[in-house]
Each structure stands twice: as C-alpha cells, then as structure tokens.
Chains A and B, each alone.
Chain A
Amino acid sequence: MASQGLGREHSVQDLIAKSRDKKGKRFVEKLMPIVLVTIALISVLTTVGILFTLIFETFEFFQRVSITDYLFGTEWLPFSGSEPLFGVLPLVLGTLKIAVIAACVAVPLGIAAAIYLSEYATDKTRRIIKPVLEVLAGVPTIVYGFFALTFVTPMLQELIPSLKIFNALSPGIVVGIMILPMIASLSEDAMSSVPNSIREGALALGATKLEVSLKVVLPAALSGIIASVVLAVSRAIGETMIVSLAGGATPTFDLNVTGSIQTMTAYIVQVSSGDAGYGTTIYYSIYAVGFTLFIFTLIMNLLAQYISKRFREEY
C-alpha cells in the first residue's frame, strides 16, 4: 500500500494534473504578458511624451512669434529687452558648423581606423585597440568640453592668433574626436561582415591588400559605412556640453569659424541655466529650438536606417 501511494505521488501525469489545478499559476501565466506589454508600451509613451511636449510648447511659442520670422529670420536676439528677435537660422548655422568640422575630423580618421582594424590588424592588435576606442566613446561629454576649452583652444590659438577663446573650431574638432569611435566601430562591423571569399578572390587575381580594401571591401560595405557617418553626424548635431563650454553664446549668421558661435543645444542650456521665468517667450523658445533639433536628428536617423536597409549587400 505504502509503495503504491509513493508511486502515485510521483507520477508525472499526476504532477501535471496537480499543477494544472493551481489557479495562482494559471493566473500568473495570463497576467505576465499583460504586465510586460504595459512595460513595453512605456517606450512608446516616451516618444509620445516627447512629441507632445515639443509640439504643445512650440505651438505656444508660435502664438507669440510668427512662424516665418522663426524659420527664415537671420537674427537671434532673444534677450534684447524691447524687441527680441527669434530667427533660428544663426543657431542652425552654428550647429551645422560644428557638425561639418566634426565630420571633417571624424570621417577620414574613423574610416581609416576601420580599414586598419578590419583589413590589416592582427587579432591581437584588434583586441587591444577596440576596447580603447570603447573607452574613448565612454568619456563623458563634459570632460571633452573641459578638454576643448582648456587644452585644444589654447593650442589652436598658438597656430591661429586671431582665434577667440570661444570659437567653432575647437569644439568642432573635439566633437569629431567624440564621434570618431562610433564611425570606426560601426564601419569596422560593416567591413568585417564582408565575406572572406570575396577578399580571397581579389587577392588570387593579384590585387594588393590596399586594392582589396579600397576597391572590394569598401564598396561592399559602403552602405554600412555611410549609415555610420550619418548616425555620427546626427550625434554631433545633438551634442551639448562640448559646444556649451567651448563654443560660446553668440549666435552669428556667417561662415566664420574662429569667432564665438551658438548652437541650438547651447542655446537651450544657456536659457535653462539662466532660469528664464516659466511662461515667458524665452521659456517657450527652448522648446521650439528643441523641436527643430529633434526634427534634424530624426531625419538623419531615419536616413541612416533607410541607407543600411535599402543598400545592404546580402551575401
């Protein structure tokens, strides 16, 4: 009898039947997907929140400032008491100056580093250099800003005596250094995923390593490389602390890179740290500028996704 009882207790079928009867367990099984989908929706809610915030407060801004004055105005003088001017173009131009200088630094260096790591470096070298690039990518932007202001600017002033303390050149170069690891690492990924058979085919035909790199691997990985550049430039456009510290606070509408400038992000920081009163036109202007910035980066991110999807070579 006893052994029979034991056998019954340990029968798998019984255990399954028993566990089916547990109401709590069935409840958990049904509840968890609902809990998890709710959590997953928070990321969607964040996007909705960003859009809602930006659109709502920007709308408030355009009740006070005409939209054409904002989009096409070439003077940004929000603090001139009686007649403030809100033409966003100087801020956009300041941002573009930084992005272009950063790209000039980061694109050639980043792609060169990617070619070296993917085509020339031995496994051992790669294992040393890649983590260092990761460290470079992990340095907080405030540290880069300090570096630009206290090291790069004085160094550049030795070369270009007319360079002001606050200028576009120094933060532009440092932003370039900041986005370099991103271009190098993403481009290296794109090049490494080009199959070896293609390389070996070219080598067998008598091509040198350089020719294989530039004429075979680079074209094959081009979509990934361009996508990495677009993403990195989008990062440069949204970069805040480096340009706030070293770029200055003078929105100008010219192509001069040696004088003080102001980017969209730096303007938002300037107003936020100055504690503009809630409800003033200046307060709402940071949302309008933020919205403009958001549109810029969104377009670039979508472009990067489109490029890497549309032009990807499948092997």
Chain B
Amino acid sequence: MKYLNDTTVMKRMKSRLTMNKVWKTIFLLATLLALLTLVILLVRIVSQGAAHLSLDFFNNFGSRFPEKAGIKAALIGSIYLMLIIAPVSMILGIGTAIYLEEYAKKNKFTDFIRMNISNLAGVPSIVFGLLGLTIFVRMLYLGKSLLAAGFTMSLLILPVIIVASQEAIRAVPKDQREASYGMGATKWQTIVRVVLPAAIPGILTGSILALSRAVGETAPLVVLGIPVILQFLPDGLLSQFTTLPLQLYDWAKRPQEEFQYVAAAGIIVLMVLLVIMNSIAIFIRNKFSKRY
C-alpha cells in the first residue's frame, strides 16, 4: 500500500527545493541592497559633513568662502515656509476630504474631483513650479516671496493631504456618526464633534509627512526663481527668502571641493529636521490612533 516512493520524490523535489532556497537568498539580497544603499548614503554624508557642523554654521549666512558659509537664512527660511504651507494646505486638504467623504453624492461631478486629485498627485513637482511662476509670481504680483512659494508648495502637497485625510475620515466607524445623529446632532455638529476628533491623529500624521516632503522639495522653488544665497532674514509674507534644499543645491553645484563638506553638513541638518518631523508623525500615529 505504498503510493509514494520516498527516494524518487526526494530526488525530484531536491532540485526544486534548492531553487527555492537559492531564490529566497536572491530576494533577500535584493531587499538588503536597498537598505545597504541607505546606510552608505547616511554614513557617507555624516562622515563628510560632521566636521563642518558648529555653532557658527547655524549663525552664519551663505558665503562665497566655504569656511564662512552657514545656513542661518536657509534654515529660518525653511521654517517660515513651513509655517505658511501647514495652515494653507491643511485647511484646503481637510476641507476637500470632508466634502468628499461626508457630503459628496455619488455622481459624475464627485468622480471628476476624485480623478482630478489622483492625476494631480502624479504631476511632476517642477510643473507646479511653472504654475506658481505664472499665477502667483507674475499674475498675482506676489514676486519671489514667501507667500508665492508657500501657495505653490501647498498646492503641490494638497493631493497627499487630501488622500490621507480621506482615509482617516473613512476609518471612523458609521455607528459613531449614527449615534451622534440619534442624539439629535446635526450633520455639521457630527462632523466637528465626532468625526474630526476621531480622525485627527490620522490627518495630522499624513499632513506632517506631506509637509516633510515639501521641506525637502527643491525643483519648484528653483523655477519660481527663489534666490539661493541671502544675507538677511525674511521679515514678512512678501519678503524674499531662501530654503535649506536651495542652499544645498547651490553648494553642491560649486566646483571647490570644500563646498562638498559644507553641503554635507547642510544635508545633516535637513535630514535631522525631517527625522524630527517624521518622529512626531509616528508618535501621533502610535499614541492617539484608535482602532475600532
């Protein structure tokens, strides 16, 4: 009553099992290669830039001399820019998400808005720069100012914030809304007092991640014509400014080797800024998000 001959089975299976093992290793190596690149990138930048990091580096403005070059104007400019992008993009993004999830009927118009948002997410950032150059810088006479750049960047990250907010709002269970209606609350009351408080951790997480993308973005600002080196700090919404990535772009382009170290030091600052923002986002996600 023996249907299977163990030795023949083993003989036939052996090569297939070996293949399985070989390919498993190949797949693992491919995955590790990606991680290895990240490690090399970080190690290299830290080893190049750490020596240039000093208090002076934070206190000096941009300079033609590598030893005097600092990131004061760029860092402050990046932070000011963030302060404009955050409220503008979040109001627009959350508003759109509330409309789409809570009010929009299932019709062609809603489909059109949804399709439009997903296509907008695929538009290259440099094209947003062209949009900003024509509309904000020239047509609305905002010039190469904080406000023009802030609006341009807000539109750039808008699709990301909309999608993240939509997901967060959708995750709030229907019973909670119905319980609120059952208690006599109106639709807007339900949204403000039930849906949004439950969705806000998800919305914040998505928004901070989107914002960290805007902080690292360079291309649209180059197109707007934002200066790369400034000797003063911005003093108003219509003031000129520069940002960290722009400053880095200028340093990286310079032929003198010393500027490579300055650029690496600037990259460390930028990456630390991004790590802080991402950590806040992860903290909010882990601490406040509820599972239903």
Contacts and interface: CB of A to CB of B under 8 A. Distances in A.
Nearest to A141: B218
B233 interface: no
Contact of A180 (B27, B34, B215): B34
B131 A46 contact: yes
Contacts of A278: 138
A94 interface: no
Interface in A169-193: 177, 180-181, 184
B219 to A, nearest CB: 4
Main SS at interface, chain A? helix
Contacts, number: 248
Contact of A116 (B30, B158, B162, B260): B30
A268 B27 contact: no
Given A53-B135, A209-B20, A301-B122, A286 B130 contact: yes
A147 B267 CA distance: 11
Nearest to A36: B99
Interface residues on A, range: 35 or more
B184 A143 contact: no
A91 interface: no
A226 interface: no
B233 to A, nearest CB: 22
A143 B186 contact: no
Main SS at interface, chain B? helix
A282 interface: no
B144 to A, nearest CB: 10
B213 A138 contact: yes
B103 A36 contact: yes
Contacts of B129: 268, 272
Interface stretch (A71-79, A81-89, A194-202, A233-241): A233-241
A237 B20 CA distance: 36
B131 A238 contact: no
Contacts of B187: 29
A221 interface: no
Interface residues on B, range: 35 or more
B126 A211 contact: no
Contacts of A65: none
Given A43-B162, A208-B19, A53 B126 contact: no
Contacts of A47: 116, 119-120
A23 B144 CA distance: 45
A208 B16 contact: yes
Contacts of A136: 34-35, 37-38
A301 B123 CA distance: 9
Contacts of A90: none
B103 A42 contact: no
Given A49-B131, A240-B126, A269-B222, A142 B248 contact: yes
Interface of A: 12, 15-16, 19, 25, 28-29, 32-33, 35-37, 39-44, 46-47, 49-50, 53-54, 56-57, 108-109, 112-113, 115-117, 120, 129, 132-133, 135-136, 138-147, 149-151, 177, 180-181, 184, 208-211, 231, 234, 237-241, 244-245, 265, 268-269, 272-273, 275, 278, 286-287, 290, 293-294, 297-298, 300-302, 305
Given A16-B184, A32-B191, A290-B130, 7 more contacts: A46-B120, A112-B27, A113-B30, A146-B45, A238-B123, A268-B126, A269-B222
